[in-house]
Amino acid sequence: MAGGEPWERIAAALERLAPPPPPPTDWLAAPAYVWEGDRGRAVPVLDAQPLTTLHGIDAQKAAMAGNCARLASGAAAHDALLWGARGMGKSALVRACVAEVQRETHGLALVQLAPGTLPSFPALIAELASVERAFLLFIDDLGFGADGRAEMLALRSLLDGGIAPRPGHVRIVVTANRRSITEREDTSAALHERDERDDALALADRFGLTLGFHPADKDTYLAIVASYLAPLGLPYDREEAMAFAIQRGNRSGRTALQFSTEIAGRAGMRL
pLDDT at 11 exceeding the cut of 80 = no
Dihedrals phi, psi of 212, to nearest 5 degrees: -95, 145
- Number of other residues whose CB lies within 10 A of the CB of residue 82: 26
Q: Which of 104, 93, 123 is nearest to 31 (CA)?
A: 104
Q: Which range is least confidently modeled, 26-30, 39-43, 203-207? A: 203-207
Same domain, 147 and 229: no
Q: Which of 107, 104, 108 is nearest to 95 (CA)?
A: 108
| Edge-to-edge strand list for the sheet holding 170-176 | 40-43, 32-35, 108-113, 134-142, 170-176, 80-84, 209-213
Three-state DSSP class for residue 61:
helix
Residue 198 lies in a domain: yes
Same domain, 150 and 244: no
pLDDT of residue 187: 47
Calculate mean pLDDT across residues 167-173: 94
Same domain, 175 and 229: no
Residue environment code for 238-251, b if the CB has 16+ CB neighbours within 10 A, otherwise e: eeebbebbeeeeeb
End position of a domain, from candidates 213, 235, 253: 213
Distance separating alpha carbons of residues 39 and 22, to the nearest angstrom: 9
Same domain, 118 and 157: yes
Q: How confident is the model at residue 1 (pLDDT cuts 50, 70, 90)?
A: very low
Residue 12 lies in a domain: no
Q: What's 144's domain CATH number?
A: 3.40.50.300
Same domain, 188 and 227: no
- Judged on CB neighbours under 10 Å (0-12, 13-18, 19+), 136 is buried
The domain tally of the chain equals 2
Dihedrals phi, psi of 239, to nearest 5 degrees: -65, -35
Residue 27 lies in a domain: no
Same domain, 128 and 232: no
pLDDT of residue 146: 52
pLDDT of residue 191: 45
Residue 17 lies in a domain: no
**What rounded mean pLDDT belongs to the chain?**
84
pLDDT digits (tens, 9 = 90+) for 93-121: 999 999 999 998 888 999 999 888 888 88
Same domain, 142 and 226: no
Q: Which range is least confidently modeled, 42-46, 76-80, 139-143, 232-236? A: 139-143
Same domain, 232 and 143: no
Domain of 223 in residue numbering reads as 218-266
Question: How far apart are the two ends of the chain, measured CA to CA in Å?
Answer: 73
Same domain, 144 and 251: no
Q: How confident is the model at residue 144 (pLDDT cuts 50, 70, 90)?
A: low
Residue 53 near residue 228 (C-beta atoms within 8 A): yes
Same domain, 182 and 115: yes
Between 185 and 254, the higher pLDDT residue? 254
Residue 160 lies in a domain: yes
Same domain, 190 and 222: no
